[in-house]
C-alpha cells in the first residue's frame, strides 16, 4: 500500500476541531438569544452576525483541511479524493456566499447542497476496487501430471490489504448514514425545530470521516512495514 504523508494526519485532525471550535465560540459571541438546537451554523456566519469573524475563517480552514487531506490521501481512489477536495472548496466558497441575516439565499443554498453531496459521496468513491498492480489472478495449480495449469482469468476484486476506511462495507455505511443525516436535517428544518442539532451531527460526521480514513491508512501502512 502506498504510504500517506504525516501532514494529512494534521489536516484531518484539524478539520473537526476547526468546525466544532468555530461554532462553539461563535455561539458564545452571538449571545443567549442564539439556540444551537434550532438555529443553523450558517446563521453564525451570516452577514452582521456577532460571530461572523470566527465562524467564517473556521469554515475556510475546514475547507483547506479537506483539500490538503485529499491531496495527500494517495491510497484512496482518485474519484474519492476529487470529491473530498471539491467538498473542501465549497466550504471555502461559503465565505463568498454567506447566508443573509434574514430569509434565505439561493446561492448559499446551492453551495451548501453541492458541498454536502460531495462529502456524502466521497467515502464510496474513494474505495479501491482493484489491488494495486493490476487485476487479481488465481494461483497456478498443478494438474494430475504435475504440470502447472493456466492462471485463473482476471476479474475485478477488492484489494485484500485495503485500509479499513477504504473498504466497501465501512464506506457504504458512512455514505448511507450521511444521506440519512441529510434527510433528518431537511425534516427538522421544515417539520421540527431541531435543524441546528441535525446540521451539527451531519457536518461533524462529514468532517470526522476523513480522519477515520487517514488513521486506517496509517495503521495499514505500519502493518505493511512490519518485518516478516
- How do residues 124-179 score in pLDDT, each as one tens digit? 999 987 554 444 444 444 445 555 554 444 433 444 578 999 999 999 999 999 99
What are the domain boundaries of the chain?
11-130+158-224
Residue burial 96-118, b: 16+ Cβ < 10 Å; e: rest:
eebbeeeeebeebeebbeebbbb
CB 80 within 8 A of CB 126: yes
CA-based angle 124:79:64, to the nearest 5?
A: 95
**Among residues of the chain, what percentage have pLDDT more than 70?**
81
Q: What is the pLDDT of residues 76-89, one digit of tens each?
A: 999 999 999 999 99
What digits encode the pLDDT tens for the residues 66-113? 999 999 999 999 999 999 999 999 999 999 999 887 767 889 999 999
> Which residues are CB-contacts of 47 (< 8 A; sequence separation ≥ 6)?
98, 99, 100, 101
Mean pLDDT of 204-224: 90
Q: Look up the pTM and report it.
A: 0.84
Query: For residues 127 and 83, what is the distance between their CA atoms, to the nearest angstrom?
Result: 12
Of 40, 38, 7, nearest to 108 (Cα)? 40
Amino acid at each position: 500500500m502506498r504510504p500517506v504523508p504525516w501532514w494529512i494526519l494534521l489536516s484531518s485532525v484539524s478539520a473537526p476541531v476547526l468546525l466544532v471550535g468555530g461554532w462553539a465560540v461563535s455561539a458564545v459571541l452571538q449571545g443567549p438569544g442564539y439556540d444551537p438546537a434550532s438555529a443553523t451554523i450558517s446563521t453564525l456566519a451570516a452577514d452582521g452576525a456577532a460571530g461572523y469573524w470566527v465562524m467564517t475563517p473556521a469554515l475556510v480552514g475546514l475547507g483547506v483541511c479537506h483539500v490538503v487531506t485529499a491531496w495527500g490521501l494517495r491510497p484512496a481512489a482518485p474519484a474519492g479524493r476529487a470529491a473530498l477536495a471539491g467538498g473542501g472548496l465549497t466550504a471555502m466558497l461559503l465565505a463568498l456566499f454567506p447566508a443573509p441575516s434574514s430569509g434565505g439565499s439561493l446561492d448559499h443554498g446551492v453551495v451548501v447542497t453541492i458541498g454536502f453531496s460531495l462529502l456524502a459521496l466521497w467515502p464510496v468513491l474513494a474505495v479501491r476496487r482493484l489491488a494495486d498492480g493490476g487485476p487479481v489472478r488465481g494461483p497456478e495449480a498443478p494438474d494430475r501430471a504435475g504440470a502447472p495449469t493456466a492462471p485463473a482469468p482476471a476479474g475485478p476484486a477488492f484489494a485484500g490489504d485495503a485500509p479499513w476506511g477504504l473498504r466497501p462495507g465501512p464506506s457504504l455505511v458512512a455514505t448511507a448514514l450521511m444521506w440519512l443525516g441529510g434527510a433528518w436535517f431537511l425534516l427538522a428544518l421544515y417539520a421540527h425545530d431541531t435543524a441546528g442539532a441535525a446540521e451539527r451531527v451531519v457536518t461533524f460526521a462529514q468532517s470526522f470521516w476523513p480522519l477515520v480514513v487517514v488513521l486506517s491508512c496509517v495503521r495499514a501502512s505500519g502493518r505493511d512495514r512490519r518485518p516478516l
